[in-house]
Structure 1
Amino acid sequence: MAERRQALTPEALQMMDTIARTGSFAAAARELGKVPSALTYSVRQLEDSLDVLLFDRSSRQAQLTAAGTELLHEGRRLLQEIDAVANRVRRVASGWETTLAISVEDILSMTTVFELVQAFCEVRDGCPENTRGGPATRLRLRHDVLAGTWEALVSGQVDLAIGIAGDHANPGGIEIRPLGEVEFVFVVAPHHPLARGEEPLSDAELVHQRAVAVADTAQRMAPVTVNLLPGQDVLTVSTMRTKLDALLRGLGCGFVPEPMARAHLEAGHLVARQTQRGGHTARLHYAWRAERGALGLGRALQWWLGQLESPTTRRALLERHAGPLD
């Protein structure tokens, strides 16, 4: 058992990963800076220690056996865990996370988000740790829609989610704070059939018109569907900005955040219409994974939470949709 444990070194696992990724021993040897014979010898040593055959020698390619495939899968997982341990050790020393992942709901102002990113980078780059080559937090931003924003947080894909609805069941270990409210309005292009006629528009009228909807990005949770009627034709797009573009072209009708539509309504490019079902207001929140114990919250996450405590910042995230980056 001790011999097998000694054989499963990070170097051996990395070697397996490189061979599988490059597809041949020769290509892997070039990438690892070894001669092919030395790499072949290392693989045989690993096979002897584990008493298994990892590669099918009858194939000219580096074809994994079932045992080799399992070792590759588990080896990659172990390498990720080793990296995670190293990152956590660095964080204990500096307080700064190696990476901070943030999910931003699609309807929020990206102008404001990038202003926050710029401010964060200025703070981070000015930290004493960086002047001596210490850790610097890398940001990873992603867009999500509806339940997808919450799913990204609870599944551990992100550390901070901005713009989630407040009606999700909290599995524990997650802190939630209010972000604000966004009013949605029903809009169509001026040349759309629903732009004329009496108000409020009934469901009987709406069902015969194509709706434009943004797809929920949730993969495992039940996706959320909002304001769609049974039997109604639907054009599904990936972002609210794409939906707005489709509405401007008269490709359908639908509800959009009033701040996003405001400039188009004022310019006459869109027409707001009253419906019998009325408008609706989304109550949004921000949430984060509240780590406990010796590590606590990292300094990068603390900085972002500090910014979100500002009413001005929260209002800008909900309202500022006329900037050059939006």
Structure 2
Amino acid sequence: MKISLELLHILDAIDCHGSFTAAASALHRVPSALSHAVAKLESDLNVALFIREGRRASLTPAGRTLLDEGRHLLRAAAELERRVQRIATGWEAELRIAVDMIIPVERLFPLLERFYADCPVTQIRLSTEVLGGSWDALATDRADLVIGAPGDMPARSGINSRLLGMRTQQLFVVAPTHPLASHPTPIPSSELRRHRAVVIADTSRELAARTIGLLEGQDILRVPNMAAKAGAQIAGLGVGHLPVWLAGPEIAAGRLVEKALADPRPPMPCHIAWRTRQIGKALGWFLGELEKNEQIEALTAGL
């Protein structure tokens, strides 16, 4: 067989990271090994899989078809491995937890400390997602458990969820030097639309990307994470909402100014969500802990 799971992993890494060099680093291999493997596969199939432009590599239509279908095989193989391990011991070899970026990942560390004391056999892999990316991580098997998934759950089988809390403490803030800092409040949407919004890019790969609070025709600056969003707003590059835990210290230091809007953002539910197929002991442990009020409050304070 010309196509192996290893080759599909290589194609996936190149597509996700955008170049052979970055993919090789992620896979802990040398770029020449990836180039050789892809070149041999292209020769065996007699098709071009990548368009190479300088250091960048993008999939051809044939390569995209191969990888899109191949990712189903990768997910199935990974799930089979996990099922075998769960059946043998009841404990997952690895539990993948995705945290929506609105929640500081450091808030999970006390929970992880207790988990390691009770369950030392399961390795934990933490990642962060944004907006629809939290649900997408479950739908595409990048995560077993998601904490803080916003909005409504997509219509996908094999996923369950429960409410974690409501995002009610998002503050609209601007730099003191920004034109909106001196604008009378509440600021109407017609005025807000004239100014660039700073947003964190949705991390969805297959599900439709989501946005929050953007106005039609509004200019957008997309940034990779919450720290970059706060930094861009402090620099006066745009405006937007930040959670209290992040905006509060910047307001107190005079680097940001809170402003009232004529159409404030409504509260948004955020959820705990998980894959329901053969729940192992480690996932069950986290689901039990995340039912406790004190743990919920520790995670959601200032959201």
Per the TM superposition, whether the score is higher than 0.5 is: yes
The aligned residue for residue 22 of structure 1 is: none
Q: Distance in 1 between matches of 2:236 and 2:95?
A: 40
The aligned residue for residue 290 of structure 2 is: 308
Question: Residue by residue, what CA displacement relative to the aligned partner does 1:149-175 show, whole Å, maximum 9, x if unpaired?
Answer: 001112222111111124233323322
Indicate how the Cα distance of structure 1 residues 280 and 14 shifts in structure 2: closer, same or farther if over 3 A, else same: closer
Indicate how the Cα distance of structure 1 residues 158 and 78 shifts in structure 2: closer, same or farther if over 3 A, else same: closer
The unaligned stretches of length 5 or more in structure 1 are 1-7, 18-54, 126-135, 322-326
Q: Distance in 2 between matches of 1:208 and 1:78?
A: 47
Question: Residue by residue, what CA displacement relative to the aligned partner does 1:248-298 show, whole Å, maximum 9, x if unpaired?
Answer: 22221111222321222233321110111113322111111112xxxx421
- 1:66 is displaced (CA, Å) by 2.5
Q: Distance in 2 between matches of 1:82 and 1:229?
A: 42
- 1:204 is displaced (CA, Å) by 2.4
Indicate how the Cα distance of structure 1 residues 204 and 121 shifts in structure 2: closer, same or farther if over 3 A, else same: same
The aligned residue for residue 171 of structure 1 is: 156
**Which structure has the larger Rg?**
1
Q: 2:84 aligns with which of 89, 112, 127?
A: 89
Q: Distance in 2 between matches of 1:114 and 1:308?
A: 13
Query: Matches of residues 23-38 of structure 1 in structure 2 within 5 Å?
Result: none
Question: Residue by residue, what CA displacement relative to the aligned partner does 1:26-73 show, whole Å, maximum 9, x if unpaired?
Answer: xxxxxxxxxxxxxxxxxxxxxxxxxxxxx9xxx9x8985229x9xx99
Q: Distance in 2 between matches of 1:180 and 1:229?
A: 26
Q: 1:297 aligns with which of 264, 273, 279?
A: 279
Query: Matches of residues 1-326 of structure 1 in structure 2 within 5 Å?
Result: 64-66=43-45, 85=80, 87-125=82-120, 136-183=121-168, 184-291=170-277, 296-319=278-301
Q: Distance in 1 between matches of 2:281 and 2:97?
A: 14
TM-score normalized with structure 1 length: 0.68
Indicate how the Cα distance of structure 1 residues 319 and 169 shifts in structure 2: closer, same or farther if over 3 A, else same: same
Indicate how the Cα distance of structure 1 residues 201 and 96 shifts in structure 2: closer, same or farther if over 3 A, else same: same
Q: Distance in 2 between matches of 1:225 and 1:290?
A: 27
- 1:227 is displaced (CA, Å) by 1.9
Q: Distance in 2 between matches of 1:86 and 1:168?
A: 27
Q: For the Cα contact (< 8 Å) 1:182–1:258, is it kept in 2? A: no
Indicate how the Cα distance of structure 1 residues 281 and 289 shifts in structure 2: closer, same or farther if over 3 A, else same: same
The aligned residue for residue 24 of structure 1 is: none
Runs of 4+ in 1 over 3 A off after TM superposition: 13-17, 61-64, 72-87
Q: Distance in 1 between matches of 2:6 and 2:197?
A: 52
Q: For the Cα contact (< 8 Å) 2:196–2:238, is it kept in 1? A: yes
Identity score, percent: 37
Q: 3-state SS of the aligned residue for 2:250?
A: helix
- 1:246 is displaced (CA, Å) by 1.1
Task: State how many pairs are aligned.
Answer: 255
The aligned residue for residue 28 of structure 1 is: none
- 1:192 is displaced (CA, Å) by 1.6
Q: For the Cα contact (< 8 Å) 1:185–1:280, is it kept in 2? A: no
Q: For the Cα contact (< 8 Å) 1:166–1:284, is it kept in 2? A: yes
Q: Which amino acid aligns with 2:207?
A: M
The unaligned stretches of length 5 or more in structure 2 are 9-36, 50-65
The aligned residue for residue 16 of structure 2 is: none
TM-score normalized with structure 2 length: 0.72
Q: 3-state SS of the aligned residue for 1:251?
A: coil
Q: 3-state SS of the aligned residue for 1:96?
A: coil
Q: Which amino acid aligns with 2:235?
A: R
Q: Distance in 2 between matches of 1:77 and 1:118?
A: 34
